[in-house]
Amino acid sequence: MNKTTGLSPFDMHCHVGTWQTPDFCHRSTGLGDLTTLYERLGFAGALITTTDMADNTGLAHEIEAYSGPLDLRFAFWVLPANLNELNKLAGHVAALKIHPSFLRRPVSDPAFKPFLAMARSMGWPVVVHCGRWQEVAGFELALDTARQWPEVNFVLSHMGGDAPCLVHDTVDRIVRLGIKNVFLGTESIRQFDLVQYAVSRLGAARVVFGSDYNLNSPSAFVHVVLDAELTTEENELILYRNARDLLTQA
Ligand SMILES: [Zn+2]
């Protein structure tokens, strides 16, 4: 439990490994860096995926070997060509991660169909990166895909896109179309009013705390949620209950 907040957050969006893209200055951390930090911060656990190196097998086994107080879960980083690896690792997997921008393909691309079918049969949530590149990583593509796979829960990263108007548009479209199987991840969202907006229109059960560690500081994003001045129950839903519910359906 965190000494300041009295809460034990679960982080639904973490990366471990080394980034290839120069955009992140080749940032590199190991699992030990994460566990040392998250234990010190009093977190309950984290859903961890790889970087753009997609070292799924290495990370899955590292997580398996961890024996500390944190509840660590593994999210498989999808590549169009790594379905065989997913089949081999299926027993370690808690969720899928699809990053359309890095893969330069929208989540609606037929290449992802076998992965979504596997998520459906295994009960895994699918975390989809959403950003400003609307033709590839736009929230509308993610929402359309969610409507085509109603038995799969989708978590839209960055609450649908890391820009205030994109978040508003994402929330409004979910409400208008009555989409039930979509959740919004708070990673990289710095404006507490966006959390308030999503909670007021969708309810706290549809917002899931994430930080985007190793690119962001986890506690900074806990405070974005807390600054929204929600009820204790709403904070608990966002900071750990929703993640736990999503991950225990598997
Ligand atoms: Zn991320």
HEC letters along the chain = CCCCCCCCCEEEEEECEECCCHHHCCCEECHHHHHHHHHHCCCCEEEEECCCCCCHHHHHHHHHHCCCCCEEEEEEECCCCCHHHHHHHHHHEEEEEECHHHHCCCCCCHHHHHHHHHHHHHCCCEEECCCCCHHHHCHHHHHHHHHHCCCCCEEEHHHHCCCHHHHHHHHHHHHHHCCCCEEEECCCCCCHHHHHHHHHHHCHHHEECCCCECCCCHHHHHHHHHCCCCCHHHHHHHHHHHHHHHHHCC
Q: Residue 249's pLDDT is what?
A: 60
- Determine the distance separating the centroid of ligand 1 and the alpha carbon of 27, expressed in angstroms: 13
- Determine the distance separating the centroid of ligand 1 and the alpha carbon of 54, expressed in angstroms: 13
CA count, 13 A, side-chain hemisphere, 161: 23
- Determine the distance separating the centroid of ligand 1 and the alpha carbon of 97, expressed in angstroms: 9
> Two tokens at 87?
């089949």
Domain that holds residue 107: 10-248
- Determine the distance separating the centroid of ligand 1 and the alpha carbon of 160, expressed in angstroms: 13
Domain for residue 4, yes or no? no
- Determine the distance separating the centroid of ligand 1 and the alpha carbon of 15, expressed in angstroms: 6
> Which residue reads 């989708």 in tokens?
154
- Determine the distance separating the centroid of ligand 1 and the alpha carbon of 56, expressed in angstroms: 15
- Determine the distance separating the centroid of ligand 1 and the alpha carbon of 86, expressed in angstroms: 19
Domain for residue 142, yes or no? yes
Q: Distance (Å, rounded) from C-alpha 232 to C-alpha 141? A: 33
Q: Distance (Å, rounded) from C-alpha 202 to C-alpha 20? A: 36
Q: Side chain identity at 120, as an amino acid letter?
A: R
Q: Residue 194's pLDDT is what?
A: 98
CATH assignment at residue 72? 3.20.20.140
Q: Side chain identity at 97, as an amino acid letter?
A: K
Q: Side chain identity at 55, as an amino acid letter?
A: D
Domain for residue 162, yes or no? yes
Closest CA to 152 of 250, 227, 37, 39: 250
Residues comprising the chain, all counted: 250
Domain for residue 209, yes or no? yes
- Determine the distance separating the centroid of ligand 1 and the alpha carbon of 57, expressed in angstroms: 18
- Determine the distance separating the centroid of ligand 1 and the alpha carbon of 13, expressed in angstroms: 6
> Two tokens at 124?
């895994």
- Determine the distance separating the centroid of ligand 1 and the alpha carbon of 168, expressed in angstroms: 20
- Determine the distance separating the centroid of ligand 1 and the alpha carbon of 151, expressed in angstroms: 24
> Two tokens at 72?
């660590």
Those residues whose C-beta lies under 8 Å from the C-beta of residue 237, and which sit 6 or more positions away, are 204, 205, 207
Domain for residue 3, yes or no? no
- Determine the distance separating the centroid of ligand 1 and the alpha carbon of 102, expressed in angstroms: 11
How many domains does one find in the chain?
A: 1
Domain for residue 84, yes or no? yes
Buried (b) or exposed (e) across 77-107, using 16+ Cβ within 10 A? bbbeebeebbeebeebbbbbbbbbbbbebbb
Domain for residue 46, yes or no? yes
Instruction: Please report, in tens digits, the pLDDT of each residue of the chain (250 residues total).
Output: 887 788 899 999 999 999 999 889 899 999 999 999 999 999 999 999 999 999 999 999 999 999 999 999 999 999 999 999 999 999 999 999 999 998 999 999 999 999 999 999 999 999 999 998 898 899 999 999 999 999 999 999 999 998 999 999 999 999 999 999 999 999 999 999 999 999 999 999 999 999 999 999 999 999 999 999 999 999 999 999 999 999 986 5
- Determine the distance separating the centroid of ligand 1 and the alpha carbon of 126, expressed in angstroms: 13
- Determine the distance separating the centroid of ligand 1 and the alpha carbon of 196, expressed in angstroms: 22
Q: Distance (Å, rounded) from C-alpha 93 to C-alpha 122? A: 9
Q: At residue 112, what are phi and psi to the nearest 5 degrees?
A: -90, -10
- Determine the distance separating the centroid of ligand 1 and the alpha carbon of 207, expressed in angstroms: 16
Domain for residue 2, yes or no? no
- Determine the distance separating the centroid of ligand 1 and the alpha carbon of 226, expressed in angstroms: 21
- Determine the distance separating the centroid of ligand 1 and the alpha carbon of 65, expressed in angstroms: 23
